[in-house]
Amino acid sequence: MTEETKKAKEEMENAIKELEQQYTKVDEQPKHPGWVTIAEVFNKAEMSHKTDPIFENMVFMLGYDFSSNIYVIKGDYLTIVDPGNDYTALMALFDLDYQPEDIKKIVLTHGHRDHAMGLFELLNYPAIMENKDIEIIIHEKGPDGFKQMIKETDFPLTFVKGGEIFDLGGSEWEVIPTPGHTMDGISLYHAPTKTAFTGDTILPYGMADVDDTAGGRLDHYMVSIKELLKRDIKNILPGHGVPVVSAGRRVIEVAYESVIAKILEIEGDISWMDLAPRLVQKGLLEEAVYCCDKKLVGDPEDLMALQLKAYCLTDMGRNPESIELLDKILAKQSNNPHALLGKGHALLGMQQYEESMQYFDDVIKINPDIKEAHIYKGMALYFLGKYDEAMDIEVFRTEFAEKFKDELEKKSNE
């Protein structure tokens, strides 16, 4: 974990503890806050924050012991996101101005008991049992035993994969598949308010454990977080802990960085530019670019970060972006052989073979021992149809041409 990640995580943990204390401190004895509106939580967290009206129509119960957070969206009907595992929470809800028969949809972010078992408490209420008109929404890869239990209740059951849009109490939410903690994890995203229900995929203070008994996988976890990072998410409604206002993206980034550290089996502090090459070795180029970007935020002219990012972008097929970075280096160091080599490689990827060769020639003049310059020049010649000239380059002929001859011929015929 980098020093920056560690500091951000500590700051979030302290902020969350302070917010939780606002809810639980009554004289000398702690007391659970009970059901509160999301607007109230957000206003306490950020005094100047003007909440969207949708948050006035959302209430939640902070999870404790063996129950997750429980959320209710009010509209023409009630939607529950994760019914938890605490029947007293449901009793408290119905002691307020809510009626069991007004619940029409229940969404489960995943099938863990602390999030899901309250479903069966709800379905046993007489008014609910009589109508059987609650739609239950879960991922298709939810636990088989749990799905069978739901089917036996005869309530409508909707399986999702991801990408679906659901109207929940008058607002539209996108289903995002977020496996990793479990195989059946989903998040819900409301673009107008930049808000996401994230279950246990994103927690306010880092990453959840990977439950391999429920199909959880660390590589899936990373893909899921990257999917969330593609959205503009400011507010997080997590499965545990106090909801996060405004700092949603940073919270997701901390989870991303925690997963990266877990994959690399890193304990303790490490710098961004010590982390990035290790990610490259693992083939995790997007993650290496992420680390370079973090370094460049603090030092936009760092040549190592610029160069490594450019090399990664070339390998990812993002050649114009790579060239833009390499030109920054060459503007300061016109004879930098690694920048020249990188630009030639990027031009080669753009099928600008003639232009690429001048950069390989420049590298060879500066340092003829850089083998890649000879190999890439041989490739450029081969693609230009200058086969004899390409084969005259010994290192290309002996170490590259025979191995990749079929591939080269295929590309030259495209």
| Concatenated DSSP letters of 198-254 | EETTSBTTB-PPP-GGGT--HHHHHHHHHHHHTS---EEEESSS--B-S-HHHHHHH
Query: Could you state, in chain order, the average pLDDT of each consecutive group of 10 residues for the chain (414 residues)?
Result: 61 57 47 88 70 91 92 96 94 93 97 96 94 96 94 95 96 98 98 97 92 97 98 97 94 96 91 96 97 96 97 98 98 97 98 98 98 95 93 87 62 60
Per-residue tokens: 360: 């390989």
Q: Are strands 135-139 and 157-160 parallel, antiparallel or unpaired?
A: parallel
Q: What is the pLDDT of residue 1?
A: 56
- Sheet harboring 70-74: ordered strands across? 35-37, 58-61, 70-74, 78-81, 103-107, 135-139, 157-160
pTM value is: 0.86
| Number of neighbours of residue 304 by Cβ within 10 angstroms | 13
Q: What is the pLDDT of residue 406?
A: 60
Per CATH, which fold does 272-412 belong to? 1.25.40
Phi then psi dihedrals of residue 198, to 5 deg? -120, 5
Q: What is the pLDDT of residue 25?
A: 45
Q: What is the pLDDT of residue 24?
A: 47
Residues 33 and 24: their CA atoms lie apart, in Å, by: 6
Is 362 exposed, middle or buried (CB count within 10 Å of its CB: 0-12, 13-18, 19+)?
middle
Q: What is the pLDDT of residue 3?
A: 63
The answer to whether the CB of 408 falls within 8 A of the CB of 401 is: yes
* CATH of 3-263 among 3.40.1010.10, 3.60.20.10, 3.60.15.10, 2.130.10.10: 3.60.15.10
* Domain residue ranges of the chain, discontinuous segments joined by +: 3-263, 272-412
Q: What is the pLDDT of residue 399?
A: 76
